[in-house]
Structure 1
Amino acid sequence: MKFSSAAATTVGLLLSGHAPMIFSFVTPPSRFASGHQASGSERSIISHSTESSSSLTSHNTNDSRSISSKMQFPLFMTATYSEAGKKKTSTISTTGSNSMVSEQEDSKHGIVPFGGSAAHVKTPDKQILGGKGLGLQEMSYVGIDVPPGFTLTTPLCQVFQENGDLPEEMWRQVEAAIQRVEQDMDRKFGDPSYPLLFSCRSGAAISMPGMMDTVLNVGLNKETVEGLAKATGNKRFAYDSFRRLLDMFGDVVLGIPHESFEDKLKGLKAKVGVQDDIDLTAEHLKELCDLYEKVYDEHGKEFPHNPMDQLKACIKAVFGSWNSGRAIKYREVQGITSLLGTACNIQTMVFGNLGPTSGTGVAFSRDPGTGKAVLNGEYLVNAQGEDVVAGIRTPEPISTMEKGFPKAYEQFIRNVHTLEQHFKDMQDVEFTVENERLWMLQCRSGKRTGQAALKIACDLVDEGICTPEEALLKVEPDHVKQVLHPTFSAEALESAVYKENVVAVGLAGGPGAAVGKVVFSTETAEEMTKEGVILVRETTSPEDVGGMWASRGIVTCRGGVTSHAAVVARGWGKPCVVGCDDIDVDMKTKTMTIKETGEEFKEGDVISINGSTGEIVRVAIETTVPALEGEFGKLLGWADEVPDVCRVMANADSGADAQKARDLGAQGIGLCRTEHMFFSPSRLPVVRRWILRDEGLEQVQEFQREDFREIMHVMDGKPVTIRLLDPPLHEFLPHSSEINEKLSKQLGYDDSQALASDIEAMHEENPMLGLRGCRLGIVREGLTAMQTEAIIHAAADLIEKNNDAKPYPRIMVPLIGSVAEFKNQALLIKRTAERVKKERGIDVPYEIGTMIEVPRAALVSDQIAGVTDPEDGKRLCEFFSYGTNDLTQMTLGISRDDAGAFLQVYKDLGIMEEDPFKSIDTEGVGFLLHLSAAKGRMVNPELSLSICGEHGGDAASIKFFDKVGLDYVSCSPFRVPVARLAAGQASVKRRKDEIEPMSRKDRVVKTSPMA
């Protein structure tokens, strides 16, 4: 999470005991607003920081020990300055003793040519060129035919967003780029005899299928369309291209609803008695162009007949579409926040609608649904680019292209193989065949399901295309989540209930299973999302993205497996059935009708869909979570084997949770919350009696001993971190409405009034900051000793029963805020543990550590890490575990339970980019965490560091924790697989960038010393 701020440089003074530690630090690059000009004072401070902070030296001016330790902090500096009239941005990152300085000229007039005579860009940058621009550069580089053109880079999108237009100098560069293409193609843009035409496409660095707008055939008008007809000898093709331009330009550039043009098309087809667009003649299409121009008049708009005016308007529309509602929605649901904007690609038009020897298509080098190494895709004869992905016609399988276009197909297979070898990943490509000549229009890493992602990654390694570490980076954390999504069990699929209720079959657009209520609009899907819905449409468009995200599954009656619905659904891991010709969808009456039987499904009716087979079932079918095996285990094994990886443990409070965690690959228990064991109906009365009457502590110990024994048995040989009692005691007490005579007698009271009086006496105004955590252990005599005895006895029981048992408890003190608190509890734990070990005659290995969740504890971490036992001089604290839930609450002053009242508003206004309880606030909470880690390891280099809050399962947070140098993260059992992948990826990326962990080079995750 980041706050929007204009803060630039801060000089910090932290107190460590009585001796001041003085150092300078600056805020990360994001703190400098775009275009901010550093003042003289800022420059002087930055200069000082550059010289002094590549390693942070603490000087204790009063201590004869003269501590001088290099503390490695994640310091970042950004300065903006002028040089020879050019604005430059310099970013300095200091991590440890390594200083990295980079400069990049801020070019506002970035136009990069591709194809034809264009020189290849030596180091193409996806962030600048966008995904499409990068793909076009790389295809040209490996010798694949690409229609020439040029890319307007993403910084220009920023310029457009800020100014609402582009500089005149940029337009002059566009004209110069056009002249190069004209020379390559031997045609002129706007030439009435044989015009050069362009497509105008968006292309951000991250693929956003269907979210941004495209305009084809730019340069046609009433004059040039006649020239195109004569030059090609194909009047029908020329007017088909012109009517497409009129439609796209009106929709994308001028905001005329596409339906207005579609209505004219439907009306003309009805008038002349044809069903398909392809059956319209040249004269029909010429008439349609006239009708489309009337649509402009009806909406008070004017179509520009000057080709350059068309191109300028299209470029502006592409850049403007970056902030369209649907694009913003897509970025929101995908969590995309780091992009500069979209690039704009101007490319020579090649035509798939010239006739039966031309066509267009989309394909994947491997099956995006299953991951199998078979070419998967579709194409249309006599069609133009957007027809396939828009789902206007249901296309033909790519395999049939071999018969119609044998030479082009052979070349296509070679191209796809070349691209997969070059990019080392499954490719999603778009192509056009113009009079039997193949042109490649686009390539990118294809979106895929979780199941496919795992198989593709493993297969690429098996085929020698990439290494295991490279393969890890091709799988997203969401892919792992998808593999855990529900499917129909084999038994359900074979049952009569399933087979007899399949009412329709379409194309398998996205695997998995879903059960939900039928809805027909995005608005209804969003309103009813909590009830579980399946969105049913004729075909989806980018405007439906919100409803698709809100739905459990999607059904369309038109479109193929590369249509918008299928591509987006697969990317999100949602089951999807597309191109289902067995159904009719009536959006006005909100009904789905089975053609063969006439059976109707209305809004709210429950159906099931099988995205793996394309089947629609009229009843609810029970779903199940698939077994985790094969590629799943193989890939996560690679993640665990990455050198210096941050390990993953689990939060578990029962033997069942611990077993699930171990099954999913957890390397221990990072948090066992002892209080969760108190809430069972049989135990709660005993706990309440101890709280209120100070009776029954021995019985509570037996409960704890039994639970600890079970968890340590399941996790044999692996560490089990047990947090002593943390929540305020009132959480275990009855509410006033529950108090009655029977309960009073049960708890040892003469009457209910006495019970109510004692409960009221324990009331706290702010229990989160009240009597809880270590304060309970200090104030409530016997509590800490009781819990310690239960832990050590439980471990001793296991060893006594089985000499090969290897329990390894780690006892964690919660809510420490001062050194004295920790010393008080740690000594009590150690004395009690050693006594029990002596009584039992069994050597139980154990560790003592603390949670760092109070900001003050983070600031005095060096003192806490340095606490020793006065009797033997040994350190008492062997580990820190960061409780990031409470650390976030206390640092930001935000209650996690009440944040919902304003967090979304803050995100909408840009005050916060992320929910700080979901992804770690790296600038505030993260800084404290890193400061604590550095100070703790300054005193004890072997100090084990971990986190156990909700952030332990968040991929973005894990990346930060990896850089800090934490030994492990801990999360809920079901998040363990995602965390394992994220940890492996973070280590691969860090090592690739040659960045050392900030606090320590070598990670150590201990297993039982007895192992």
Structure 2
Amino acid sequence: MTIVRLGSGDGPQFEAEAIGAKAANLNRLMRLGVPVPPGFVLPIVMCGAVLAGDRGAKAQVTAALSEGIACLEQATGRRFGARRDPLLVSVRSGAARSMPGMLDTVLDVGATPAAVRGLVRATGNPRFAFDCRRRLLESYGETVLGLPRAAFAGRRDELLRSEGVPSEDDLDGEALERLAAAYEDVVARADAVVPDDPMAQLADAAMAVFRSWTGERAESYRALEGLGDLRGVAVTVQAMVFGNRSLRSGAGVAFSRDPSTGAPEPVIEMLFSAQGEDVVSGRRTPQSGEAFARALPEAATRLAALLARLERELADVQDVEFTVEDGTLWILQTRAAKRTPRAALRFAVDLVAAGVIDPAEALRRIGGIDAAALVRTRLVDAGPPVLCGIAASAGVAVGRAAFGPDRAVALAADGDPVVLVRPDTSPADVAGFAAAAGIVTAAGGRTAHAALVARQMAKPCVVGCAGLLVAPGEGRASFAGTVVRDGDFIAVDGDRGTVHLGRPEVVAERPAEFDEIARWRAGLHGAADGVVPVG
């Protein structure tokens, strides 16, 4: 078993079944000349050895990582964990099929105390350096050591209150250094250790990513999505690029077309001075593509051109994760976008019209979609919205409010439709997603993991509702001052980004795209048996 170096070739070792869809796509992007940070992959076969408990599996993983790090040091001119201009890396998961947010990631690996001093020397920016350190401690603590997120969040919130600021974005370098020290105390109080040896950090992070394959949320997701034939996860290690380095830096997610409605305009969301997990976690509400274009016009223009190119090259609508470091654009991932059934229908029609795919391929892509899911629905006499947010997944739903995933499952078992209402969502909520008819969150954007899963499951979803205050465990929430209790009926309009009280009527409308499908089927003389019925 050995590493696979991204961008170095093609063949079976570069296919998704060997190195995961994420790495396979990155390899293709690098060969197309797209700006991708250098990296390497521990293939899926290693996952099997780790999970089987093979003697010597960790030693084999460590040896492969040492080989890969040597390649990255050569490619970047930096040394892993060095005291001057250090190399830091990301450790990401990738199965043969996309499982958004269900497997683990560890960023800023190698941010040892010595490397933090090296970052300060190299950049003259202690705020950036200590931000990387506190991110590593939190990520490593949760993912590798299994410490609860709440332990870190409590110390963070305590510091924010003492500084009188709302978020980490408002902390200076000295305050972030104190936050990192507070996180080190969290680890020490748990009788745990974050190693000062960068290779030990890396090996532990890689083993944790492999083991996340058997985590509860990953297994639940595979069961829900019929992915039981997948054999494991690959580990992709890349040189870090830093969206938190400066005010001309940031991280975001972009779709080449709207994955909710199917509209042909790109959808871009970004957080400035942030790393990728800040965007996709859904714990913060990102800014729009328009804000990105105003602040960093050159990077925004290059991203728009890349979105159009990748859609043509890969013959499908793309979901792209990106980072901008001091104005330079880097692509971290691309994959076929998760989409609502309505968007899938429009994508098929528009891509045929653009000559990207032919009618037979379009019919194949929509062949597994239930025709009922393609019918457009809308609310009638819903009254004024009680909440307004971001339309993240199209369609409408009416159901009983549930303020946690377990409660959503219980209410749905009683036979009533349910709307899952959360402050934000995490991949651990996947059982609640499956039980719910619709999803509402106080934070997050259209590119958060929750929104991706909602679109894949064809659930109407509204996120970023600023007036929503959920009291966890209390069975109630404030909807812009109006109290909604567990089990009360509410309605979600995923087209308009609104939430309404009560049980308005839902009506259905036949999409115009059905006529185009009928023409394709007629032209193919019935060759597409089993595709979406028309009429």
TM-score (norm 1): 0.51
The 3 A distance-change label for structure 1 pair 481 and 223 is farther
Report the secondary structure of 1:528's partner residue.
Answer: helix
Query: Distance between the aligned counterparts of 1:537 and 1:276, measured in 2?
Result: 20
2:513 partner amino acid: E
Distance 1:275 1:592 in 2: 21
Q: In the alignment, which residue of structure 1 is the partner of 2:418?
A: 533
Q: For 2:520, which of 600, 618, 638 is the aligned residue?
A: 638
CA contact (8 A) 1:425 1:474 kept: no
The yes-or-no answer on 1:587 pairing with 2:472 is yes
Q: Are positions 1:113 and 2:8 aligned together? A: no
Indicate how the Cα distance of structure 1 residues 131 and 481 shifts in structure 2: closer, same or farther if over 3 A, else same.
farther
Residue 201 of structure 2 aligns with which residue? 310
How many angstroms apart in 1 are the aligned matches of 2:201 and 2:255?
33
- 1:479 shift after superposition: 6.2
After TM superposition, the structure 1 = structure 2 runs for residues 361-376 of structure 1, keeping only pairs within 5 Å, are: 361-376=252-267
Shift of 1:636: 5.6
> Helix, strand or coil: the match of 2:439?
strand
User: Helix, strand or coil for the counterpart of 1:616?
Assistant: strand
Larger RCO: 1 or 2 (CA < 8 Å, sep 6+): 2
Maintained 8 Å contact 1:152/1:345: yes
Paired with 2:365 and 2:291, the residues of 1 have a C-alpha distance of 30
- Over residues 682-732 of structure 1, what are the superposed CA-to-partner deviations in whole Å (9 max), with x where a residue is unaligned? xxxxxxxxxxxxxxxxxxxxxxxxxxxxxxxxxxxxxxxxxxxxxxxxxxx
Alignment RMSD (CA, Å): 1.8
Cα deviation for residue 546 of structure 1 reads 0.3
Alpha-carbon contact 2:367-2:532 (below 8 Å) kept: no
CA deviation after TM superposition for structure 1 residue 567, in Å: 1.1
Matched, 1:172 2:57: no
Aligned residue for 1:475? 366
Q: How far off is 1:538 after superposition?
A: 0.3
Is 1:977 the counterpart of 2:526? The answer is no
Displacement of 1:399 in angstroms is 2.6
1:514 paired residue number = 397
CA distance in 2, matches of 1:641, 1:296: 65
- Report the Cα distance in structure 1 between the residues aligned to 2:363 and 2:57, rounded to whole angstroms: 41
Where does residue 193 of structure 1 map in the other structure?
Answer: 84
In the TM superposition, residue 173 of structure 1 has moved relative to its aligned partner by 2.9
User: Deviations along 1:146-199, whole A, 9 cap, x unmatched?
Assistant: 000101111221222212662634432321221111111000112121210100
1:557 alignment partner in structure 2:
442
Q: Which residue of 587, 607, 611 maps to 2:490?
A: 607
SS of residue paired to 2:465: coil
- Shift, 1:646, TM fit: 7.1
Match of 1:800 in 2: none
Partner SS for 2:191 = coil
1:570 aligns with 455
Superimposed CA distance per residue, residues 856-905 of structure 1 (whole angstroms, 9 cap, x where no aligned partner):
xxxxxxxxxxxxxxxxxxxxxxxxxxxxxxxxxxxxxxxxxxxxxxxxxx
Compared CA separation, residues 330 and 641, structure 1 to 2 (3 A): farther
Partners of 1:134 and 1:238 in 2: CA distance: 31
Aligned to 2:53, which of 163, 168, 183?
A: 163
1:367-407 deviations in whole A, cap 9, x for unaligned?
00111111102001101111011122211111321221111
Question: 1:38-117 counterparts in 2 under 5 A?
Answer: 109-114=1-6
* Structure 2 SS opposite 1:558: coil
Q: Which one-letter code corresponds to 1:568 in the other structure?
A: V
When Rg is computed on C-alpha atoms for both structures, the one with the higher figure is: 1
1:638 maps to amino acid: W
Query: Gaps (5+ residues) in structure 1?
Result: 1-108, 649-975, 981-1011
1:146 aligns with 2:40: no
Q: Which amino acid aligns with 2:3?
A: I
Secondary structure class of the residue paired with 2:192: coil
Q: 1:119 to 1:513 in 2, by over 3 A?
A: same
- The one-letter amino acid of 1:557's match is A
The equivalences for 1:947-962 within 5 A come to none
CA distance in 2: counterparts of 1:169 and 1:184, whole angstroms: 23
Distance 1:568 1:143 in 2: 30
- Structure 1 position 423, deviation (Å): 0.3
Equivalences, count: 530
1:268 and 2:268 correspond? no
| Structure 2 Cα separation of the partners of residues 271 and 323 of structure 1 | 40
Query: Which residues in structure 2 correspond to 1:234-633 (within 5 Å)?
Result: 234-475=125-366, 477-478=368-369, 480-484=371-375, 487-488=377-378, 492=380, 495=381, 498-500=382-384, 502-529=385-412, 530-595=415-480, 598-627=481-510, 629-633=511-515
Output the amino acid matched with 2:441.
Answer: T
Measure the CA separation in 2 of the matches of 1:611 and 1:268. Answer: 37
Q: 1:284 to 1:415 in 2, by over 3 A?
A: same
Does the 8 A contact of 2:366 with 2:532 survive in 1?
no
For 1:550 and 1:639, how far apart are their aligned partners in 2? 35
Is the 1:458–1:631 Cα contact (8 Å) retained in structure 2?
A: yes
**Contact 2:93-2:103 at 8 Å conserved across structures:** yes
SS of match in other structure, 1:420: helix
Deviations 1:54-76 (A, max 9, x none): xxxxxxxxxxxxxxxxxxxxxxx
| C-alpha contact (below 8 Å) 2:58/2:207 kept by paired residues | no
Structure 2 stretches lacking a partner, 5+ long: none
Amino acid at match of 1:977: V
Change in CA separation of 1:317 and 1:643 when aligned onto 2, cut-off 3 Å: farther
- SS, match of residue 19 in structure 2: helix
- Contact 1:565 1:578 survives alignment (8 Å): no
Secondary structure, in 3 states, of the residue corresponding to 1:531?
A: coil
Give the Cα separation in 2 of the matches to 1:575 and 1:317: 33
Report SS of the residue matched to 1:228. Answer: helix
Contact persistence 2:423–2:468 (CA under 8 A): no
* CA drift at 1:518: 0.7
Question: Which residue identity does 2:300 align to in structure 1?
Answer: Y
Structure 1 residues 111 and 472, CA gap change in structure 2 (3 angstroms)? farther
State the identity %.
39
Task: Tell me which amino acid in the other structure corresponds to 1:634.
Answer: E
Distance in 2 between the 1:523 and 1:636 partners? 42
Aligned equivalent of 1:215, options 76, 86, 106: 106
Residue 632 of structure 1 deviates from its aligned partner by 2.9
Cα drift, residue 439 of structure 1? 0.6
Question: 1:852 matched to which residue of 2?
Answer: none
Query: Residues 728-747 of structure 1: matches in 2 within 5 Å?
Result: none
The answer as to whether partners of 2:42 and 2:64 remain within 8 angstroms in 1 is no
Superposition deviation, residue 642 in structure 1: 4.8
Post-superposition shift, 1:508? 0.6
1:478/1:323 Cα in 2 relative to 1: closer, same or farther (>3 Å)? farther
Q: Tell me if structure 2 keeps the 8 A contact 1:488–1:621.
A: no
Structural mapping, 1:124-135, within 5 Å: 124-135=14-25
User: SS at 1:625's partner residue?
Assistant: strand
Secondary structure of 1:338 counterpart: coil
Residues 110, 155 of structure 1: 8 Å contact kept: no
Secondary structure, aligned partner of 1:580: coil
For each residue in 1:656-679, what CA deviation from the matched residue of structure 2 results, as whole angstroms up to 9, or x when unmatched? Answer: xxxxxxxxxxxxxxxxxxxxxxxx
Q: In the alignment, does 2:22 pair up with 1:137? A: no
Q: Which residue identity lines up with residue 152 of structure 1 in the other structure?
A: L
> What corresponds to 1:698 in structure 2?
none
